[in-house]
Structure 1
Amino acid sequence: MASAPHVGPPQRLVRSLGADSPWLARLPELLAGALARWDLSAERVVAPGGRGSLVVLVRRADGAPAALKLRADGAAAEAAALDRWGGHGAVRLLEADPKTGALLLERLHAEVSLRSLPEAKANLEAVSSLRRLWVPPAPGGGGHPFTTVAEHTARAAERIRRHLPAEARALADEALELCSALLADAPEELLLHGDFRQGAVLSAGPGRAHWLAVGPDPLVGERAYDLARLVRDRLHDLGATSGASSLTRRRVRKLADALEVDRERLRGWSLYRAVESASRHFAAGAGADGEMLLEFAGWL
């Protein structure tokens, strides 16, 4: 019999969406509906969880464990990407109802991500995971439902100009110029995770690849764009070390060489994505995180 946990959404989700979010107000109804639709029994909410989704550990009617994910938006794209990967390198999709933002996924070890490993080992496993994800967006080269990197970056351009502080104007201009130049001669169009980082790769159970990616915001574009998010992983640790600039450039070289990606394209996308992420943090009032991202972009 379906049952709903008597707990509120994690505070991380509330802070991200705002306490007055209409989606948060509908969340109890959406959760109850998904539990009933797939005959699930809820165990507990995963905390701290994501910034735009709620994940609940559940049991199916036959007692098999699973994870129910409710997304505020983007469920259709995530479902399409997981379906395309078919469980190879990514969590397996069991059921989907994109209209309500509900996804039923195989259960992984949510508390064990690549961030639990030493950095060198984590990057080695991350590289292996990414290799499996970079596939054509549709079999046989047909049409696909995914947003392209070009479309995504075009939407972000105005936010970058509007929300970065005046002293970062030159860096913003450089990032946008790099983006335009990189898009002009993009070498490939592959399905990308879109938000690939160590924390988005979780330990799996027996009979599966040991590490599987979760939480994609899929895009179609070149590998260097996807890899660029990984370059700045463990950013606060990196910023606390001496020689952060040289260490950052070394990361670019190592990751580019490991995945046979052009170093300059990876450097350019890493700079752009840091600036773009900084603009989102400033827009959300998280100025300290925004400043850290701008500092990282300066190292590149």
Structure 2
Amino acid sequence: MATAPIEPPRRLVSALGGDPDGPAGAWLEALPAMVRQRLEAWELTPERVHEPGGRSSLLVYVRQADGTPAALKFPAPGRAPAHEGAALAQWDGWGAARLLRADADSGALLLERLQGAVSLRSLPEAKALLEAAGTVRRLWVSPADGHPFASLAGRAEEAVDELRALGAATPAVGPLLDESLELRRALPADAPEDVLLHGAFRQGKVLAGERTPWLAVGPSPVVGERAYDLAWLVLDRFEDLAAGSGAASAARRRVAKLADSLDVDRDRLRSWTLYRAVDSGVREMTTTGGDVQRGELLLEFATWL
């Protein structure tokens, strides 16, 4: 079995390496040893590191002892890997990549291997939205008894405080920020349901598979209403909507179409989408490495709703 050190991709190092003495820096330093330990413990043969990779995890393509392909994932600190694994375990391959093994100490997850270079974003927009809606519908199940997932309601004040602090640096947001803060408090309080959500669902999180055409990956699981997951999908490829004529009308039509196709209340989806657009826009404009132009466009999208 290969024992050569596996180095994290540059994108991951850039995203996490700002504080070498902090938890993320320590995790990056220990990562090659953690990978080697999991390879040996689970009898895995590494093939290659997924490049350019993500900003919050390392993914290594491997072969299991019987030759079956798999993917070994190490979520970075703060990503609650046990919760990701718990969600994947509950779905058990229904609409999402199947969890094969998990290690609580390192947070490592051994996953069914999908085609990492082929996501729903490779499809025309209308087809991609149709497939995305069919995929996310499968994930909306009742959380198991004793589940570890936080709820949207339980995170309300934390989310409000965080957005307010970020918004203080972007005074031009004005009334949009106030409305978003009020929505983030009010929406979970009268939610019509509590189901297990992907939590970060978008077309790029749905990859081509072998046993079924499309499967979700990379959940940030949370319990709440379906409209929260759909709001992420409304914002997918929003730049394409903005570039076309009648962008505001097109945005509202997308809300209506997705809501109706999945039996979600239009007004609640509009409200969650507005909140998500403002939250994401403010983060782009205030976070180091963010895209100010993208942030401004997200805020403009919010006004269309």
TM class, shorter-length: over 0.9
Match of 1:104 among 101, 110, 113: 110
Note if contact 1:5-1:43 (Cα within 8 Å) is conserved in structure 2: no
- SS of 1:212's partner is strand
Note if contact 2:75-2:81 (Cα within 8 Å) is conserved in structure 1: yes
Distance 2:178 2:260 in 1: 28
Letter of the 1:127 partner, please give it. A
- SS of 1:149's partner is coil
Distance 2:178 2:300 in 1: 15
The alpha-carbon deviation at position 90 of structure 1 amounts to 0.4
- SS of 1:146's partner is coil
Q: Aligned pair 1:230/2:233, yes or no?
A: yes
The alpha-carbon deviation at position 270 of structure 1 amounts to 0.5
- SS of 2:35's partner is helix
Q: Aligned pair 1:297/2:302, yes or no?
A: yes
Q: RMSD value over aligned CA atoms? A: 1.5
CA distances 1:137-161 after superposition (whole Å, capped 9, x unpaired): 11xxx33210111223322212211
Letter of the 2:92 partner, please give it. G
CA distances 1:41-89 after superposition (whole Å, capped 9, x unpaired): 1111112222210111001111110000000132100100000001111
CA distances 1:246-275 after superposition (whole Å, capped 9, x unpaired): 111111000000000000000000011122
Distance 1:152 1:289 in 2: 26
- SS of 1:68's partner is strand
Note if contact 1:3-1:40 (Cα within 8 Å) is conserved in structure 2: no
1:1-300 to 2 correspondences below 5 Å? 1-4=1-4, 6=6, 8-19=7-18, 20=20, 21-72=25-76, 73-138=79-144, 142-164=145-167, 165-205=170-210, 208-285=211-288, 286=290, 287-300=292-305
Distance 1:25 1:191 in 2: 34
Note if contact 1:137-1:144 (Cα within 8 Å) is conserved in structure 2: yes
Distance 1:163 1:181 in 2: 20
Note if contact 1:2-1:39 (Cα within 8 Å) is conserved in structure 2: no
Unaligned segments of structure 1, at least 5 residues: none
TM-score when normalising by structure 1: 0.93
Note if contact 1:195-1:226 (Cα within 8 Å) is conserved in structure 2: yes
Note if contact 1:5-1:45 (Cα within 8 Å) is conserved in structure 2: no
Note if contact 2:153-2:189 (Cα within 8 Å) is conserved in structure 1: no
The alignment of Structure 1 onto Structure 2 pairs a total of residues equal to 294
C-alpha change, 1:265 and 1:67, in structure 2 (3 Å) is: same
TM-score when normalising by structure 2: 0.92
Distance 2:163 2:115 in 1: 36
CA distances 1:8-49 after superposition (whole Å, capped 9, x unpaired): 322322232234322222211221122112111111111222
